[in-house]
Structure 1
Amino acid sequence: MYSISIINAMEVFFSINDFLFDYYFLIGGLFLSYLVYKIFHSLFSDNIYSQTNFTSRGHSWRSIQCHKAIPYNIHCSVCGILMLPLVGLFCECCAASACKRCCRIVDKKLRCKTITWPRDKIFQHHWVNVGTIRTDSSDNDDGLKKFFCSWCQRTKLCTYSALEPEECNFLKYRDIIIPPYCTQVEKGIIAKVKPLAEDNWIPLIIFANPKSGSNRSDEILSLFRGLLNPLQVVDLSRTAPETVVRWLPSRCRVLAVGGDGTVAWILNSLLSATHVRASVAIMPMGTGNDLSRVLGWGSGSDTHLDAHSIINTIKQADEQLLDRWKVTIAPRPGRLGRPRPKRVVYAYNYVSIGVDAQVALDFHYARAQFLYRYASRTLNFVSKCVMLEPGKEVFRFF
């Protein structure tokens, strides 16, 4: 009887192990298959928002396939050829366009949008040629051209000789743009932004994390750089929010583009800036987006992103107060009973201790790895299924 019971127990044990092995083998196989697919898809497909194609001397070049909120010229402004998607480039900030062979020439001849301007000089339109009306009887240089102001979004049809300097008043987005003459720069670093005297002036600051789960935050950066002052659009993979909140005006709106971790990072940075009173909107680009769902911003971003619609939604949103949780961590005494300093952290939706927290920490470290550039929201979900083993408890404080 005892030997039979032992044999039966061993059979059950090995059957459970075989089941768990098959389960992890299946999940791991799907994980690796999807990772290989993402790598080949990013290498051989036209991923137009994955990175900036060229960056040199002020202009930030991207492929003309990008959906933009600003127009651009489909003909090269230097050689005049019709630019196909494979060779066509345009500056995401000022809408200047050129082919890959002539972009260096445009860098030398045409300046991009500037973030500073002398206060004693009149701020003028930044006209960019975005099209030419071609006729058989007129030369390209003397024909009518369509000019676009990259600050006020105004278009003008005239010849180049008839284009006269004119003051720009930013028109449509005057109440959310930081004018270049309000920016003070010291030793190449933004030191201060002097507020405008207008009551309805509430600048919009964009914080986007390209390493978030959906990998679409780079698209948001490209969309808003053409509508706002480039200093208002912050790439969190290059610039930390702690360095930006130092020069923010006392009243502003903030759009946090990313997941829950990105939003918490931005909120903690604003906490250290006591002079800033900011209303924070969320564009969910992460894996879970729990805080975004609770506040009514949805669980994910739309397939088609419209910068104008996003700005209008932020302006019409209602302000609500959000609780901030203060967590104090008291470590054990060190050697000889020497006390260690306490650590204070702030949370905005929940705090986790255990396996869940370890998975979140591993994901944070994984963002610095090379293969993370091929990650996506779906891949993050699969990764969590592999990393979270069944049967382990997680303690969570709400």
Structure 2
Amino acid sequence: MCGDGDEAQGDCGSREEWTLLFWTSLAVIVPVIITLWCSAQRSKRKTHMKDFFRKSKHGWRYTDLFNKPTYCCVCSQHILQGAFCDCCSVCADEQCLQRADRSLACKEIMAPSGPDGAVQHRWVRGNVPLASYCAVCKQQCGTQPKLCDSRCVWCQTTVHDDCMESLADADRCSLGEFRSLIIPPHYLYRVNKLRRRHPDEYSKLASSCGSGWTPMLVLANTRSGNNMGEALLGEFRSLLNPVQVFDLSEISPSKALQLCTLLPPGSVRVLVCGGDGTVGWVLDAIDTMKLKGQDQFIPRVTILPLGTGNDLSNTLGWGAGYAGEIPVEQVLRNIVDAEVVKMDRWKVQVASKGLYFRKPKVLSMNNYFSVGPDALMALNFHAHREKTPSFFSSRIINKAVYFLYGTKDCLVQECKDLDKRIELELDGERVALPSLEGIIVCNIGYWGGGCRLWRGMGDEPCPPTRLDDGLLEVVGVFGSFHCAQIQVNLANPVRLGQAHTVRLVLKSSKMPMQVDGEPWAQGPCTITITHKTQALMLYHSTEQTDDDDDESSASETESPTPHDSPQPPGPASAHA
């Protein structure tokens, strides 16, 4: 009897264990299945949305959570997630999306003007920007918790629903504050109707756009720096004509710049949103325009710095990096007030030793060329980024990785005894080298992410530098630790001189080299740097580009003169 009781108790315990195991497994498996199903549905929905967005005339962007109270422009209901058009700011939930696409028109990039030759307002109701005020009563708009009030997608004017009838010139749009930068739809419509496309015809059509019209193109690299490019594209499409805004991941600069040939000669400005490499890419495309005989359409180039170093942007007064600290509207105001300067561009020829029948490698240089520890850091950084590109999505992370590789080189010293492996000539004269690990040839005032290399600590007199003087500044460094000391103003570089032509001969072994942040490992060769051309850049003279106020007088010697045709210095300043 006792044995039967123990056996029954054992069966009961076993049944309870199996029951517990079943419910435990169910508690684990069911959420996993639900998660996988939701993920599959989400992926399927995204694919469907992507196809729908590609065929739509709107510039739809999907978001899981709007960053402000938002109402559907179709059903007027409050929505937390859905899609918005980054051109006209129409918002809709998923159920109303197709209806919104059919019934609500987007910005027209090309359209005839009104009967009186003016642009007509294009009103979008609801979801007006925060802190916007009515053009009639001057009271704040969008304060009611519903779809209310309207905004013109061209001039950005906001009006209360009750004040719309009282608005003066309700059908006439002035294109707003940035009319001098916007390409009006009627201009492109008239260009399309021209039988003879000639620069003189474009100048005649430009008279209808007002005096001082300097249309601007926006070229953004969505992969630069903090990956802000995509958000900036939407903001610029909202403020300008969407046809002016280009994503460089979808279209090359050379194709985007062909729009310049449909605009009045000498009037176009180009805003490059990206790092120094992106700027060089655009400037190379402009050089291609010159080779095609399109010199009269060459644009003026300005920069919104999204990269890691941004030394060229810093030199031209646009700052060391943009992270949204000022609104896009202020960026456009700064561009309107900017002045035109010329900047030297240089040709770097690399002729490898022993390869006499192969053409030398030819590169363009805007910022600097270097051989030694800083090029080694750039080479290691780029190799790491090629392996794991998703890791390098932040400017802070990028600089931290540079710091780690610099610290490593301080211990290993891979570039020591450079003076025994390389010969340097400035304008044909041999220069005796001290015991160096690196040589840097600079065209601009800044180097290494914000350091004024040629000036160093500023406690020693040095010849002034300019962007348009046809001279290069050549300095030497003793190693990675010396570079770090220069960057924090604790040491001076070894100033080797200034020259119109620089020639370096690498006699033996491989050495790391870089041009404008693009590194490679180079064997024995001869490097010749000569003047190539000049680019027209925009200089923002009112922005302080250095953190130290007491250094403002010294900065004037390294800043470009803010006028269109600066005179290069005489030959007396060719050597330090």
Return the TM-score normalized by structure 1: 0.69
Q: Which has the larger radius of gyration?
A: 2
Q: Is 1:271 matched with 2:287?
A: yes
The question of whether the paired residues in 1 share the 8 Å contact of 2:276 and 2:307 is answered with yes
Structure 2 equivalent of residue 20 of structure 1:
none
Matches within 5 A, 1:382-397: 382-386=400-404, 389-390=408-409, 391-393=413-415, 394-397=438-441
Aligned match of 2:235 in 203, 223, 233? 223
Structure 2 equivalent of residue 183 of structure 1:
188
The question of whether the paired residues in 2 share the 8 Å contact of 1:73 and 1:96 is answered with no
Structure 2 equivalent of residue 58 of structure 1:
57
The question of whether the paired residues in 2 share the 8 Å contact of 1:59 and 1:107 is answered with yes
Structure 1 residues 366 and 230: alpha-carbon distance in aligned structure 2, compared to 1, 3 A threshold: farther
Q: Is 1:83 matched with 2:79?
A: yes
The question of whether the paired residues in 1 share the 8 Å contact of 2:69 and 2:78 is answered with no
Structure 1 equivalent of residue 334 of structure 2:
313
Q: Is 1:257 matched with 2:283?
A: no
The question of whether the paired residues in 1 share the 8 Å contact of 2:178 and 2:332 is answered with no
Secondary structure at the counterpart of residue 269 of structure 1: helix
Structure 1 equivalent of residue 92 of structure 2:
98
The question of whether the paired residues in 2 share the 8 Å contact of 1:64 and 1:90 is answered with no
Amino acid of the residue matched to residue 392 of structure 1?
A: E
Structure 1 residues 242 and 108: alpha-carbon distance in aligned structure 2, compared to 1, 3 A threshold: same
Distance 2:111 2:65 in 1: 32
In structure 1, list runs of 5 or more residues that go unmatched: 1-52, 133-142
Distance 2:120 2:69 in 1: 21
Aligned match of 1:344 in 334, 355, 362? 362
Secondary structure at the counterpart of residue 378 of structure 1: helix
Residues 76-124 of structure 1 deviation map (CA, whole Å, 9 limit, x = unaligned): 122221122xx14321100111113322221122221122224797653
Matches within 5 A, 1:71-150: 74-84=70-80, 87-118=81-112, 123-130=119-126, 146-150=149-153
Structure 1 residues 119 and 157: alpha-carbon distance in aligned structure 2, compared to 1, 3 A threshold: closer
Amino acid of the residue matched to residue 380 of structure 1?
A: N
Q: Compute the displacement of 1:182 (Å).
A: 2.5
Matches within 5 A, 1:24-43: none
Secondary structure at the counterpart of residue 259 of structure 2: coil
Q: What is the aligned length?
A: 322
Residues 132-190 of structure 1 deviation map (CA, whole Å, 9 limit, x = unaligned): 9xxxxxxxxxx99522221122234448x98999343423222110112323699xxxx
Structure 2 equivalent of residue 379 of structure 1:
397
Distance 1:213 1:278 in 2: 25
Distance 2:57 2:391 in 1: 25
Amino acid of the residue matched to residue 414 of structure 2?
A: K
Structure 1 equivalent of residue 178 of structure 2:
173
Secondary structure at the counterpart of residue 330 of structure 1: strand
Q: Is 1:209 matched with 2:236?
A: no
In structure 2, list runs of 5 or more residues that go unmatched: 1-48, 129-145, 290-294, 416-437, 443-576
Query: Percent identity among equivalent residues?
Result: 34
Structure 1 residues 231 and 65: alpha-carbon distance in aligned structure 2, compared to 1, 3 A threshold: farther
Q: Compute the displacement of 1:238 (Å).
A: 1.4
Distance 1:326 1:270 in 2: 15
Residues 327-361 of structure 1 deviation map (CA, whole Å, 9 limit, x = unaligned): 22335565xx6x23344322111023467557656
